[in-house]
Amino acid sequence: MSWVSRYRPRSFKEVLDQKEAIETLMAWYKNWKPGSKAMLLYGPPGCGKTVIVEALAQEEGLDLIEMNASDFRSAEAIEARIGRSMAQASIFQRPKLFLIDEVDGLAGEEDRGGVGAIIQIIKGSKHPIVLTANDPYNERLRTIRPYCQLVRMRRLGIRDVQRYLERIAELEGLSIDESVLKIIASRSQGDLRSAINDLEVLGRGSRIIRDEDLSSLGFRERQTDIFEALQAIFKTKSLMTAKLSLNEVDKDLEEVFWWIENNIAEEYEDPLEIAKAFDALSKADLFMSRVIFRQNWKLQAYAVDLMTGGVALAKREPYRKFTRYTYPSNIALLGRTKGERSEALKALGKLGSILHCSRRKVRAEFLPYLKIMAKRPDFKERLDAFMEASED
Amino acid sequence: MDSLEIWAEKYRPRKLDDVINQRHVVERVKVFVKERNIPHMLYAGPPGSGKTTVALCISEELFGSAWRQSTLETNASDERGINVIRQKIKDFARTRAIGDVPFKIIVLDEADALTPEAQQALRRTMETFTRTARFILCCNYSSRVIEPIQSRCAVFRFRPLSGDDVRAYVMRIVQGEGLKITDKAIEAIIYFAQGDLRKAANLLQASAALSREIDESSIYEAASQARPEDVRLMLEKALSGHFQEAREILQDMLLRQGLMGEDLIREIHRQVYSLDLTDEEKVQLIDKIGEYDFRLTEGGNELIQLEALLAQFLLFSKAHKRR
């Protein structure tokens, strides 16, 4: 069972936030009689639309009949599936509640019949019907809207999502940093379902989840975009094609920069092409640093043109070969050596405090000489003693 | 700390009168100390010319043995962002100084490493605590410090120290430690130090670790051992057409070992003379080294600028030249 279903809220109490929507839904249900409007719940993905309808059925002891609008694409299909049961009042059975999910997914050109059928069903139903949608003002839903009471559900807060994840992590016995949960939560942008899916991907692999694991998650998810962009840049001789390739990429410019940098010498074989491409990146980098240092954002346009078009046009002809583009080695190296470097920084900091300078200066201006001085046993002894003494 | 005996620290002047040269700064600063009132100050000058030393001397002369409690030393490159620095300053400046001096001293090193935005924030902090604290900002290039800060400070330019200044300092250490050293060795130190007293002291101490009697060759030996050793290998890789391997060495030096781009490019320049290339090719490469060095000082990223330079070396690889 996926974690999304395992940890699905079963009652109103377990549903995150959405108090207003629940109250409106309850009032609508209590007052509903044949001929009343249907309910159209709308809101962003993963905010709990389906979940609160399921909770309503649970709490009121209703027989919930769930359908996904995209399952049936024509009037006949809807009729055949639910038309008849809707028009029948049930005397011996539990009361029914119909849920038609994602109605905005239903209304394509060829589905006009589908919209019309839903309107007919709403008008003639003996049972309450709930519809859900992401965007109720979608032009194709125009004709349905008058037959519905619209209730908006809000995007979930990042902190609510995070707390929910915390509970799951605890129940699953995961060892996971709060910071990691926070990142998953904020990446989800309030979509609890996607957040739980992300957590499951990480948690299924191992009980202990660290920062690094997170990067592999984002990496996999967004991989296709960056690879397509790299392919466009490296295989084209057109400035516009190269430049526009970045439009699809949802990574920040700096990371894209290093992806391009890492793969120049994988793709290009002629030293002149490599030198030209790196020179274009060098100039792009200067523009980016001016953007930051002078807060002059219009300069960013030149950086983008140089890092895409400049690199693309460094080659004589596109190479007719397949290149396996790889993850930026500098970012990987920094990740791999994090522990080692933080140890070194601590030691440098200790020396810095007695030498009255920054760790950077200790490393650049003292360390090369300290290594030579330490060739004398008496100095090495003192140095070791100092490092140990200031350990606490 | 005295037990560690790093000479650059052991022989750091403790009184303004002992500071090597910088007379134009010291004379004026002594007046401030005498009047027990100093303005905010900005010290600009090359490394090892005495900026931090003057700041610490002022503090010691003002506060005596309690100078540590009344002085906050911090720097822009270690702290994570201006907010951490501001919080440190706030915590420190909240309480009054002990004794008859009505302010504390905050020494902020590498102030030019702060972005203009961060400097604006610093400027506001300086104003907030101007009653209880005096700032001494140190930097290599005053042009990288925003004008509103410069206008609130007395700006002092530390001059590059001369060969005679370096000699005077080296002689202090030689006498203090009872070293045996030849005249030529002292000349060699002056040559390598380029007016940087910290470097002179370090080079002298490293040489002393290598041999009991210090002559010219022990100075050269220490200087060469102190250089980034992988630079030569990296250049040879690039010149033999192995660009990716050269790139790997560079990334290891910059990112894992934490060496500085400007040190590496200086060493690249030094190595060019002895590479297996014609003089004409060397001149062409030096032109490129200068260009990428300039881009570094313009704020370029160390890794990408040096990689681009390595790609220029690749153009001189034998395989490429045959094409």
* Cβ contact, residue pair B244, A357, below 8 Å: no
Q: How confident is the model at residue B295 (pLDDT cuts 50, 70, 90)?
A: very high
| pLDDT value of residue A83 | 60
CATH code given to domain A158-216: 1.10.8
Average pLDDT over residues B57-70: 92
Name the nearest CA neighbour of A304 among A264, A250, A244, A248: A244
Q: What are phi and psi of B278, to 5 degrees?
A: -75, 160
Q: By the CB < 8 Å criterion, does A301 face chain B?
A: no
* Cβ contact, residue pair A294, B109, below 8 Å: no
Cα–Cα distance measured from residue B258 to residue B263, given in angstroms and rounded to the nearest whole number: 11
> How far away is chain A from the Cα of B121, in angstroms, using its nearest Cα?
15
| pLDDT value of residue A175 | 87
Least confident span in A297-301, B39-43, B213-217: A297-301
Average pLDDT over residues A346-367: 91
| pLDDT value of residue A209 | 79
* Cβ contact, residue pair A329, B251, below 8 Å: yes
A chain contacts of residue B88, beta-carbon cutoff 8 Å: none
Beta carbons of A88 and A63 less than 8 angstroms apart: no
**Joined tokens for residue A116:** 């019309």
Domain, as residue range, for B300: 228-322
State the average pLDDT for chain A. 84
A chain contacts of residue B75, beta-carbon cutoff 8 Å: 357-358
- DSSP letters of A1-48? --HHHHT---SGGGS-S-HHHHHHHHHHHHH--TTSPEEEEE-STTSS
B chain contacts of residue A361, beta-carbon cutoff 8 Å: 77, 110
| pLDDT value of residue A155 | 84
Task: For Cα atoms B10, B14, B18, give the angle at the middle one, nearest 5 degrees.
Answer: 105
Q: Is residue B178 part of a domain?
A: yes
State the average pLDDT for chain B. 92
A chain contacts of residue B3, beta-carbon cutoff 8 Å: 382, 385-386
Question: What do you get for the CA distance between the two ends of chain B, in Å?
Answer: 61
B92 and B175 inside one domain: no
Q: Is residue B258 part of a domain?
A: yes
The domain total for chain B is: 3
**Joined tokens for residue A217:** 């998650």
Q: Which residues touch B104 (CB under 8 Å, ≥6 apart)? A: B70, B71, B72, B92, B93, B96, B97, B132, B133, B134
pLDDT value at A220 more than 50: no
B56 and B138 inside one domain: yes
Q: How confident is the model at residue A82 (pLDDT cuts 50, 70, 90)?
A: low
The CATH number of the domain where B173 resides is what?
A: 1.10.8.60
B123 and B104 inside one domain: yes
Q: By the CB < 8 Å criterion, does A373 face chain B?
A: yes
* Tens of pLDDT, residues A257-313: 999 999 999 999 999 999 999 999 999 999 999 888 777 888 999 999 999 999 999
In whole angstroms, what separates CA B209 from the centre of its chain?
Answer: 23
Q: Is residue B293 part of a domain?
A: yes
Average pLDDT over residues B153-159: 93
* Cβ contact, residue pair B256, A385, below 8 Å: no
Q: At what angle do helices A253-267 and B302-314 cross, to 10 degrees?
A: 20
> How far away is chain B from the Cα of A384, in angstroms, using its nearest Cα?
9
**Joined tokens for residue A177:** 């940093």
**Joined tokens for residue B78:** 């270690």
Domain boundary among the residues B109, B124, B157 is at B157
Domain boundary among the residues B223, B252, B270 is at B223
B196 and B291 inside one domain: no
pLDDT value at A221 more than 50: no
Domain boundary among the residues B157, B181, B199 is at B157
> Per-domain residue ranges for chain A?
18-152, 158-216, 226-334, 338-391
Beta carbons of B13 and B168 less than 8 angstroms apart: no
Strand partners, B134: B105
In whole angstroms, what separates CA B269 from the centre of its chain?
Answer: 19
Cα–Cα distance measured from residue A392 to residue B222, given in angstroms and rounded to the nearest whole number: 33
Look at strands B41-44 and B154-157 and give their pairing. parallel
- Name the CATH superfamily for A18-152: P-loop containing nucleotide triphosphate hydrolases (3.40.50.300)
Say which of B9, B252, B317 has its CB closest to residue A355.
B9
* Tens of pLDDT, residues A139-154: 778 888 899 999 989 8
| pLDDT value of residue B235 | 97
pLDDT value at A222 more than 70: no
Q: Is residue B306 part of a domain?
A: yes
The conformational region for residue B40 under phi > 0 = left, psi -120 to 50 = alpha, else beta, is beta
Q: What are phi and psi of B48, to 5 degrees?
A: 70, 25
pLDDT top residue among B236 and A104: B236
- From B308, which residue of chain A is nearest by alpha-carbon distance? A278
B167 and B246 inside one domain: no
A chain contacts of residue B56, beta-carbon cutoff 8 Å: 356
> How far away is chain A from the Cα of B303, in angstroms, using its nearest Cα?
9
* Tens of pLDDT, residues A96-106: 898 988 887 66
pLDDT value at A23 more than 80: yes
**Joined tokens for residue B74:** 């911090």
| pLDDT value of residue A46 | 85
Q: Which of A326, A356, A375, A384 has the most B C-beta neighbours within 10 Å, making it the best mutation to test the interface with B?
A: A356
Residue at B23: amino acid letter: R
Cα–Cα distance measured from residue A233 to residue A313, given in angstroms and rounded to the nearest whole number: 9
